[in-house]
Amino acid sequence: MTIQTLIVDDEPLARSRLRRFLTEEPNIEIVGECGSGAEAIAFIRGRELDLLFLDVQMPEISGFGVLRRLPRGQVPAVIFVTAHDQHAFEAFEVHALDYLVKPFARERLQEAVRRARRHIKARDMESLDRRLNGLLNAQPKESGQANRIPVKSGSQTLLIRLDTIDYIESAANYMVLHTQSGNHILRETLTNLQKKLPPAMFLRISRSVIVNVERIKGWETNPRGDYEVILHNDQKLVMTRGIREAQERLQYSHEGG
């Protein structure tokens, strides 16, 4: 992953030294240099930057002034660079990743870049999760429903195909997707998730369970008189709602087969 980086400092020698250090860092692409706050604002607007090395004390518009004038949502990861350390507290108040005091050693810069890499990676994963959930929430024009559910698993996001799900069960504030290959945890309510599932494929059989109709082998009544659906693997689930609909859909599918 290439990190698009901008250097902002009113001192040419400071920009040159920073550029020399950064060219030795893998996957850092310096896309520009600015010598003033106004120049930096004009450069950043309309661009998607990953990382900004920003001098605090500059004539007319300080580094903090630059950040205040940028559109919300367009501020990249920021590492402040300055000859004085009295602004450190304010720098972290605006969520700067790091604060380098000149003259800093190459090792100190490398530490700041490592921190930036971790932040940008985490931010990109979060952005990807939002896009995937957006795709799930959207109604595709052709099919009318999404066919996969994004689920976080550690640092990964897995795309669970709907046709691999046996049933979905609520557990406190989470959902458990029971699939042919294992279980997956999803932070979602059952009601919200049901709205995103194709109704022809999934049936809610109780307050806490939605079943993939294709996984239902049949149904029966237990000794207590409760209806239970029998899944393809012979697992039984109590059915307290949708009983008539389940029977009609299963009978129809058997007759059609």
Long-range contacts at 189-198 (CB < 8 A, ≥ 24 apart): 193/149, 193/168, 196/136, 196/137, 196/145, 196/146, 196/149, 197/145, 197/162, 198/144, 198/145, 198/162
Model pLDDT, residue 21: 94
Long-range contacts at 194-197 (CB < 8 A, ≥ 24 apart): 196/136, 196/137, 196/145, 196/146, 196/149, 197/145, 197/162
pTM: 0.51
Beta-carbon contacts of residue 132 (< 8 Å; ≥ 6 apart):
150, 157, 159
Model pLDDT, residue 146: 60
Model pLDDT, residue 169: 94
Residue 167: name the closest of 215, 232, 133, 200 by CA: 215
Domains of the chain with bracketed CATH? 3-134 (3.40.50.2300), 148-256 (2.40.50.1020)
Q: Which amino acid is at 10?
A: D
Q: Which amino acid is at 234?
A: D
pLDDT, tens digit only, all 257 positions of the chain: 689 999 999 999 999 999 999 999 998 999 999 999 999 999 988 788 889 999 988 888 988 889 888 877 777 888 988 876 654 445 445 557 788 888 888 999 999 999 888 888 777 556 545 554 554 454 444 444 568 888 887 777 888 999 999 999 998 778 999 998 889 998 888 888 888 888 888 888 888 899 998 888 887 887 877 778 889 999 999 887 655 555 555 555 444 44
Model pLDDT, residue 126: 60
Model pLDDT, residue 97: 77
Structure tokens at 81: 């660079």
Residue 240: name the closest of 254, 217, 214, 219 by CA: 219
